[in-house]
Chain A
């Protein structure tokens, strides 16, 4: 079966760094997406990885290891506005997104 696993909730301190892990099992693989979703709003795209390695985009970076079925989202210099749910989604061979349940990130001052 297809499955995406990520922690339910994480807490971090403003200004710090946090890493949100995601493991995936999909039928075929066409990439791994990370989305940010604030409460009551629709998801917004953060990153896409299809090759192994680290993709850096400002304060956010995303890493992929296809052999391990593993990805992480790294958030640096955390700000209060980064408090949100972070959704990991794998794209299968049919180009359909398989969604994780999301990781609620709580930022404390």
Chain B
């Protein structure tokens, strides 16, 4: 149980285009989803936390107009990288937790999306 999928697993796009990454919880309802970015040989960097039906909470330094997050349902969150540039090339990982707020449940990670902007 607690499987999270991401699509696509990898994508190459041209500079200036937008890319959408989907994150789905397959067998549970995820009230809260998290989006991370990881550069080579570095740890995970939390970009934003999204709760279903409300606006995402972005971490300091993350541009909300560039990284659009939509958490439309309890099983789907999307991250759109708008007007991508080569410096946006990274490994993007989503995770989902079973319950928001009061309980410290583990986060279940998707397999990640490797984005390369040329």
Measuring CB to CB, which residues of chain A are less than 8 angstroms from any residue of chain B?
A: 30-31, 33, 35, 40-45, 48, 50, 87, 91, 95-97, 99-102
What are some 30 contacts across the A-B interface (CB < 8 A)?
Answer: A30-B104, A31-B104, A35-B109, A40-B91, A40-B114, A41-B111, A42-B93, A42-B110, A42-B111, A43-B44, A43-B93, A43-B109, A44-B109, A45-B107, A45-B108, A48-B104, A48-B106, A50-B104, A87-B44, A91-B104, A95-B101, A95-B103, A95-B104, A96-B46, A97-B107, A99-B43, A99-B44, A99-B45, A100-B43, A102-B43
CB distance from B47 to the nearest CB of A (A): 12
Question: When A and B form their complex, what is the total count of cross-chain residue pairs whose Cβ atoms lie within 8 Å?
Answer: 44
Measuring CB to CB, which residues of chain B are less than 8 angstroms from any residue of chain A?
A: 42-46, 49, 91, 93, 100-104, 106-112, 114
The 4 A-B pairs at the shortest CB distance, nearest first, are namely: A42-B109, A30-B104, A101-B43, A42-B112
Report the bound CA distance from A41 to B10 in whole Å. Answer: 12
Other A-B pairs, 20, CB within 8 Å; known A95-B102, A95-B104: A31-B104, A33-B106, A35-B109, A41-B111, A41-B112, A42-B111, A43-B44, A43-B93, A43-B109, A45-B107, A87-B44, A95-B103, A97-B107, A99-B43, A99-B45, A99-B46, A100-B43, A101-B42, A101-B43, A102-B43
Which residue of chain A has its CB nearest to the CB of B41?
Answer: A104
CB distance from A30 to the nearest CB of B (A): 4
Q: In the complex the two chains form, is A96's CB within 8 Å of B43's CB?
A: no
Report the bound CA distance from A40 to B101 in whole Å. Answer: 30
The listed residue (A40, A42, A87) touching B43 by CB distance below 8 A is A87
CB-defined contacts of B44 to chain A, threshold 8 Å: 43, 87, 99
Report the bound CA distance from A50 to B43 in whole Å. Answer: 22
CB-defined contacts of B110 to chain A, threshold 8 Å: 42
Report the bound CA distance from A45 to B103 in whole Å. Answer: 17
